[in-house]
Amino acid sequence: AQSVSQHNHHVILSEAASLELGCNYSYGGTVNLFWYVQYPGQHLQLLLKYFSGDPLVKGIKGFEAEFIKSKFSFNLRKPSVQWSDTAEYFCAVNVPRTGGFKTIFGAGTRLFVKA
């Protein structure tokens, strides 16, 4: 069965530190890839997405992610985090299946940035 794995459940960083959150998926075909973010008290929202083209995609608030097809990975990065980046981050993969498509979410990574 298809799955999405996020390697870190909790990450604690100081402001200005660099961030990389891992995401791997298990599906051999063409996929659409997403990172969503849920700030405290707010709803889930899109951070960035990859459908095709340049495998390095840029999103809001200085985030970027790189799709590496050979590694089935879509890691999220930010060179210098801010306190306001404290949130939960979800990787998601949209895959084709019988009868349509399905989006599978990872378990999420809680990021806490110390001021």
Partner 1 sequence: ETGVTQTPRHLVMGMTNKKSLKCEQHLGHNAMYWYKQSAKKPLELMFVYSLEERVENNSVPSRFSPECPNSSHLFLHLHTLQPEDSALYLCASSQDRTDTQYFGPGTRLTVL
Q: Quick check: 60 binds partner 1 (CB under 8 A)?
A: no
Give the strand pairing for 10-14 and 109-114: parallel
Q: Least distance (Å) from partner 1 to the CB of residue 75?
A: 18
29 to 58: interface string for partner 1, x by CB under 8 A: ---x-x-x-----xxxxx--x---------
Tokens (6 digits) for 115:
């001021």
CA dist., res. 21 & res. 28, Å (int):
22
Bridge partners (DSSP) of residue 6 are 23
Q: Which residues bind to partner 1, rule: CB under 8 A?
A: 32, 34, 36, 42-46, 49, 90, 94, 99-103, 105-108
